[in-house]
Amino acid sequence: MAKTISEIRNEFNNADSIQRKELFALYMDDTRAGVKQLIAKIKREEEKLNAEQKRLETMRVFEKKYSSYQLIAGIDEAGRGPLAGPVAAGAVILPKDCEILYLNDSKKLSSVKRDELFDEIKKKAVAYGVGIVSPERIDKVNILQATFEAMKEAIKDMCIEPDMILVDALTIPNIHYKQVSIIKGDAQSVSIAAASIVAKVTRDRIMMDIDKIYPEYGFASHKGYGSKAHIDALKKYGPSPVHRKTFIKNFM
C-alpha cells in the first residue's frame, strides 16, 4: 500500500542528508500530484537553506582569518542618530562555526525576526553583553564618545573576557584588546551582526518603555529618530527629559 503524503513528509523530516537523497530517488517517479508538490516544496526549502548557509559562510571570513584567537567578540551600536533616548551597544562571542540562520545586519531584519534572533543569540552565545549610555551623557561628551563608552560597557558586561574584538566601522580608544574595525561589519561578520541585533533589540525595548512614560511623542513607533511625527510632537510639546539637547537645537 502506497504511503500517504503525511507519512512521506514525516520521512523527510526525520531523515539526514544522505537519507533524504535516497528518499528523493525513491519518490521521483511517484505520479500522485500531492507527492510531486511535496517533493518540489522540499527541494525548494533545501535550496533556500543551502543558499542561506552559503551566505552565512561569507560572513565568517573575519572569524576564520583570526581563528587563532579563541574568543572573538563582535561589537556594534544602535541609536547614534536619534533625537531622543540612549545609545546602546552589544558585544557577542559566538562559538566557532555557530550557525544562526538569517543572522544579518539588524537594519535589514523585521522587528519580529530581530526578536527571534535575539533569543537564539542569547541561547547559543558563549557570552553577550550590553552597554547603555544616557541622553544626558551624550549631551555632555558628544555621541561618538558616548558610543565608545557604551561599547566598553558592553564588553565589561560579558561574563567572559574576549581575546580580540571585531568592531563595526569604529576603533575603540584606550582598550588593551586586539581589535579590527570593519566597514559595514554588521553585514560582513556573524559576530558583529549578532552584536547589532543585541544592541538594536535592547534599545528598541527601552524606547518602548519610555513611550509609556511620554506617549505624546510616539517613541514606540519611531524609537526616537527624527521622523516628521516626532518633530511635530517636539514642536508641540517641547523637549522631554529623554531628548538629546544637543540634537534638537534646530527644531526648537
Domains with residue ranges and CATH for the chain? 5-58 (no CATH), 62-207 (3.30.420.10)
The pLDDT of residue 205 is 98
List pLDDT tens digits, range 89-126. Answer: 999 999 998 999 999 999 999 999 999 999 999 999 99
- Asked if 78 and 31 count as a contact pair (C-beta separation under 8 A), the reply is no
- Asked if 146 and 138 count as a contact pair (C-beta separation under 8 A), the reply is yes
- Asked if 11 and 27 count as a contact pair (C-beta separation under 8 A), the reply is no
- Asked if 157 and 91 count as a contact pair (C-beta separation under 8 A), the reply is yes
- Asked if 246 and 140 count as a contact pair (C-beta separation under 8 A), the reply is no
Residues of the chain with pLDDT under 70: none
List pLDDT tens digits, range 155-177. Answer: 999 999 999 999 999 999 999 99
User: Which residues, other chains included, contact 20 with Cβ-Cβ below 8 Å and sequence gap of 6+?
Assistant: 12, 46
- Cα-Cα-Cα-Cα dihedral sign, residues 137, 140, 142, 145: negative
The pLDDT of residue 92 is 98
Tell if the pTM clears 0.85, that is, is over it: yes
The pLDDT of residue 97 is 86
